[in-house]
A and B are shown apart, each in its own frame.
Chain A
Amino acid sequence: MYNSDKVIPGIIIFVLFVTFPIWWNHGKSVAAPEPELPKKGRCVESKEYMRSHHMQLLNVWRNEAIRQGMRIYTSSDGARFWISLQNECMKCHNNKSKFCDRCHQFAAVEPYCWNCHIPPETKKFKAPKASRLLKLFGVPPVLHGSSQAESYGHAEH
């Protein structure tokens, strides 16, 4: 073999590149994640359909609810549902980290739902700190008796 000083490193690089998934995982197989399913109730569509198509359904829901104001979804078997991620989906699937995140992390998917929506378990609001401006005018940070104060208190438990 001629030029083996160049050819052999070339072949080694080629083999390493092709077998990347084999040595990167060290031959350790990873079990598929098991998202925590709600104990009772039904989902809007069948389990198989939701497993493969949920992102497309959510996209349709987003467009219908936000852009067309259409808030009612009729599923393939005729049942009707309220179109809302936080108030309908998350009513049963109320734990993002135990339901959504398990599969998304496994498949390296980062959905941008949570750029706008707030997952229930992270919905902890601290009482706002009094800003300099409020202090200057002597305004208390939490206005007692207002609807705002009530919602803060509600979210804490």
Chain B
Amino acid sequence: MNVVAALVAVIGMVIVVWFGVGVLKLYTLFGVLVPYAALLTFLIGLIYRMVNWAKSPVPFKITTTCGQQKSLPWIKHSRLESPANNFEVVLRMALEVLAFRSLFRNLRADLRGRKLYYGSSKWLWLGAILFHWSFFIILVRHLRLFTYPVPGPIKVLDAVDSFFHIGLPHLYMTDVAILAGLTFLILRRLVDAKVNYISHASDYFPLFLILGLISSGMLMRYFLRVDLVSVKEFVMGLATFHPKAPKGIGVIFFVHLFFISALVAYFPFSKLVHMVGVFFSPTRNLPNDNRRVRHINPWWEGVPPKFLTYCEWQEKFKEQLEQAGQPIDEDCYKEKKS
């Protein structure tokens, strides 16, 4: 059911664009207004999410660790598993963001007959890293359509990505890699009963949306073809705020543009926001130095909480304590008298 809902939503988007551009010829709406609105939603939405997270107090220092923390000088501490200062936090965070280190530890539990087995399972890590890195490289590579003159590093990236010179236009390695990664991520939710059980439409939707985005892009590059010079002229117009309604570009381009607009606008409202959220995880962005540095709960800043001493507390609940037959600390009263 969840899968069908997500799939219908994505196919519906193709129909909307086909009808809007192919039949009604709404070039300005789909070519100019929708992309600008989506970009604004993306920027404002993500900044709002970041500021909102930064405003939320972290009451406890709850770093997740799985190594020896820094203590006495002769005990070797694990710098990455239990970072003791900000530098080590940055190192651990960088490895997490760039190499998905915690996913590399993924375990899988399986019943085989009547026995429960636990084993290392790197497939999720492999699928995720293929998908995310390919997506990032594809995004950076697209800058060749957004800039003039094109920066050298982007040209180099393009040349390296199409290194094998398969077909013409050359097949990009990242196109193959992202398809492989994405197929795995989709199949994982469909085939694995445990993951399938916890998957919602909001899990399938981004996967199908990105699959649609990639398919439309690959169709446009390798099969249906559009006039690249017109596309770049139009895209440059968008990037320099001199938008011109594009003409003579096939509907497949508008499908691609609508998919990326939808993805970008969907970002701040969905699980995709983990792109910035990972940096705001209190379990990962704090050093494990609880024993050296006192973490003051920000709720208490400027508003000191009212503490009760034991004697004050005993006075408050004296009746109940006596009824329950609890011993009363007589010293409290002695000190008062003297």
Contact B168 A14 (CB under 8 A): no
**Residue with the greatest number of chain A CB neighbours at <10 A, chosen from B57, B225, B241:** B225
A114 at the interface (CB under 8 A from B): no
Bound complex: CA of A67 vs CA of B47, how far in Å?
56
B148 at the interface (CB under 8 A from A): yes
A75 at the interface (CB under 8 A from B): no
The total of Cβ contacts below 8 Å across the A-B interface reads 103
B146 at the interface (CB under 8 A from A): yes
Which residues from chain A contact B168 at a C-beta distance below 8 Å?
Answer: 55-56, 58-59
Contact B147 A24 (CB under 8 A): yes
Using A107-B232, A108-B158 as known contacts, say yes or no to A55 and B54 having CB atoms under 8 A apart. no
Using A3-B54, A25-B240, A53-B225 as known contacts, say yes or no to A32 and B233 having CB atoms under 8 A apart. yes
Using A15-B43, A112-B165 as known contacts, say yes or no to A2 and B239 having CB atoms under 8 A apart. no
Using A10-B279, A21-B239 as known contacts, say yes or no to A52 and B46 having CB atoms under 8 A apart. no
Bound complex: CA of A15 vs CA of B276, how far in Å?
12
Using A24-B147, A25-B148 as known contacts, say yes or no to A1 and B158 having CB atoms under 8 A apart. no
Q: Within the complex, which residue of B54, B58, B169, B241 is in contact with A4, where a contact is CB–CB below 8 Å?
A: B54
* Chain A, 8-54, CB within 8 A of any chain B CB: 10-11, 14-15, 18-22, 24-25, 27-33, 48, 51-53
Which residues from chain A contact B56 at a C-beta distance below 8 Å?
Answer: 2
- Residues of B within 8 Å of A, CB-based: how many? 46
Which residues from chain B contact A112 at a C-beta distance below 8 Å?
Answer: 165
A142 at the interface (CB under 8 A from B): no
Contact A29 B167 (CB under 8 A): no
Contact A29 B240 (CB under 8 A): yes
Q: Within the complex, which residue of B145, B158, B159, B167 is in contact with A59, where a contact is CB–CB below 8 Å?
A: B167
* Chain B, 55-71, CB within 8 A of any chain A CB: 55-58
* Chain B, 247-286, CB within 8 A of any chain A CB: 248, 276, 279
Which residues from chain A contact B148 at a C-beta distance below 8 Å?
Answer: 25, 30, 106
Contact A21 B143 (CB under 8 A): yes
Using A30-B236, A32-B230 as known contacts, say yes or no to A21 and B42 having CB atoms under 8 A apart. no
Would you call the interface of chain A mostly helix, strand, loop, or mixed?
helix
Which residues from chain A contact B54 at a C-beta distance below 8 Å?
Answer: 1-4, 7
Which residues from chain B contact A48 at a C-beta distance below 8 Å?
Answer: 227, 248
Contact B236 A103 (CB under 8 A): no
> What is the CB-to-nearest-CB distance from B183 to chain A, in angstroms, rounded to a whole number?
26
Using A2-B55, A4-B54, A7-B50 as known contacts, say yes or no to A56 and B225 having CB atoms under 8 A apart. yes
Would you call the interface of chain B mostly helix, strand, loop, or mixed?
helix
- Flag B141-172 by CB within 8 Å of A: 1 or 0 each: 00111111011001100110000010111000
**Residue with the greatest number of chain B CB neighbours at <10 A, chosen from A4, A18, A25, A53:** A25
B292 at the interface (CB under 8 A from A): no
Using A1-B55, A24-B147 as known contacts, say yes or no to A15 and B232 having CB atoms under 8 A apart. no
> What is the CB-to-nearest-CB distance from B302 to chain A, in angstroms, rounded to a whole number?
13
Bound complex: CA of A58 vs CA of B144, how far in Å?
23
Which residues from chain B contact A31 at a C-beta distance below 8 Å?
Answer: 233
B12 at the interface (CB under 8 A from A): no
Which residues from chain A contact B150 at a C-beta distance below 8 Å?
Answer: 108
Bound complex: CA of A13 vs CA of B25, how far in Å?
38
Q: Within the complex, which residue of B46, B55, B230 is in contact with A14, where a contact is CB–CB below 8 Å?
A: B46
- Flag B216-256 by CB within 8 Å of A: 1 or 0 each: 00000000011111101100110111100000100000000
Using A14-B276, A15-B43, A29-B237 as known contacts, say yes or no to A2 and B58 having CB atoms under 8 A apart. yes
B51 at the interface (CB under 8 A from A): yes
Output the nearest chain B residue to A7 by Cβ-Cβ distance: B54
Contact A52 B226 (CB under 8 A): yes
**Residue with the greatest number of chain A CB neighbours at <10 A, chosen from B145, B147, B229:** B229
Contact B50 A25 (CB under 8 A): no
- Flag A98-140 by CB within 8 Å of B: 1 or 0 each: 0000010011111010000000000000000000000000000
Contact B227 A1 (CB under 8 A): no
Contact A107 B47 (CB under 8 A): no
> What is the CB-to-nearest-CB distance from B132 to chain A, in angstroms, rounded to a whole number?
16
Show 26 residue pairs from A and B whose CB-CB distance is below 8 angstroms, ordered by the A residue: A1-B54, A3-B54, A10-B279, A11-B51, A14-B46, A18-B39, A18-B43, A20-B146, A21-B143, A21-B146, A21-B147, A22-B239, A22-B241, A29-B236, A30-B233, A30-B236, A32-B230, A32-B233, A33-B229, A51-B230, A52-B226, A52-B227, A56-B168, A56-B225, A58-B168, A106-B148
Closest 9 CB pairs between A and B? A21-B146, A59-B168, A21-B239, A32-B233, A108-B150, A29-B242, A29-B240, A7-B54, A52-B225
